[in-house]
A = this chain, B = another copy of it.
């Protein structure tokens, strides 16, 4: 068989695998969206139930603001970008005014609650920016999906407030100033902001321009989390980019680093910066996978210690759904951008594990929490931190990326004649 023929056959086989995954991922997306459509809508008070048992039964009616914002965002995004989800049922569920009406503690003040009662009264507040970030994402997508300007006004005003808290004055968040508290930067903060820069700037030249400097600042701050001569991504560093002492300083979260990886890859695409792209693939994709993948049972550890001490988080060795969703996006995006087949193989490896271990073929959606060995540890489909977000976002993005890869014109392989084997056919 000629080298040319073999190469064509390999390429054909590769396309078949990509096609099979595109179908698998697309079907799974349909099942997952159907699960949330069927079980999570609160017809009486609006908003979404997210505390759902294995079969979808509501086991608590609290409404977590992160998850309310994320589900609105997800529904609008699916409605807006997928032909088959462009139906009013999805948009109407997203448009419910629950979030707009109840998320903020004392409007016009911008601080949002962390969790609300079923009818929207605040139960808990976090002294962080994350409820507000998911509120912003939701409002921006609502504007894109409906064209109603009041949503965009909410999004932009909230964004300004978040940027003020992060870059100018955090006192509005209500955290006490303590003499011994290190000025630590959790990587989540510049990550969330970079994600918002991407969200608000999408096909919007004016806002993209407004946030250019902010996006660069976020990327630079995330890159500061690569420490120890490029050998570790640390979750918390000092504001001037130094390693912090103790467990806090040594904490690693491989799934979170991989998520930061694809946020940065999108930044590189926007910037047209292949050198930075190579650095990001090396440090935020390959490095966390190498250190974070469990060689015995497969799957990504949840927490690790950069000096290999035992982490103090009780769940450190558990396998959670979201690091695996993020890893799937990161490796497929890395492959789409670089063409490096190593990244495609890693996508397959993570996707195979993820579909095998987390999917629930019986009742739909994914389990969220497995033991180290891969046994289902919590049978819930949703809870205080798991809602309609990581799984459908992963599936939707992977379906789009696989579609884009398959629609690229197949390059004609050039047969390379090998003298020694010439005439061997």
A125 to B120, CA, bound (A): 28
Contact code string A164-200 (vs B, CB < 8 Å = 1, else 0): 0000000000001011111000000000000000000
Chain A contact surface mostly:
loop
Q: B125 and A176: CB pair below 8 A? A: yes
Contact code string A350-387 (vs B, CB < 8 Å = 1, else 0): 00000000000000000001011000011110011000
Which residues does chain B contribute within 8 Å of A182, judged by CB atoms? 123
Q: Is A122 an interface residue (CB 8 A)?
A: yes
Q: B51 and A181: CB pair below 8 A? A: no
Q: Is A53 an interface residue (CB 8 A)?
A: yes
Q: Is A310 an interface residue (CB 8 A)?
A: yes
Contact code string A276-318 (vs B, CB < 8 Å = 1, else 0): 0000000000000000000000000000010001111011111
Contact code string A378-415 (vs B, CB < 8 Å = 1, else 0): 11100110000000000000000000000000000000
Which residues does chain B contribute within 8 Å of A181, judged by CB atoms? 122-124
Q: B369 and A372: CB pair below 8 A? A: no
25 contacts across the A-B interface (CB closer than 8 A): A53-B310, A59-B310, A60-B247, A62-B246, A62-B247, A117-B180, A120-B180, A121-B178, A121-B179, A121-B180, A122-B179, A122-B180, A122-B181, A123-B181, A125-B176, A312-B378, A312-B383, A312-B384, A314-B369, A314-B377, A314-B378, A316-B378, A371-B371, A371-B372, A372-B377
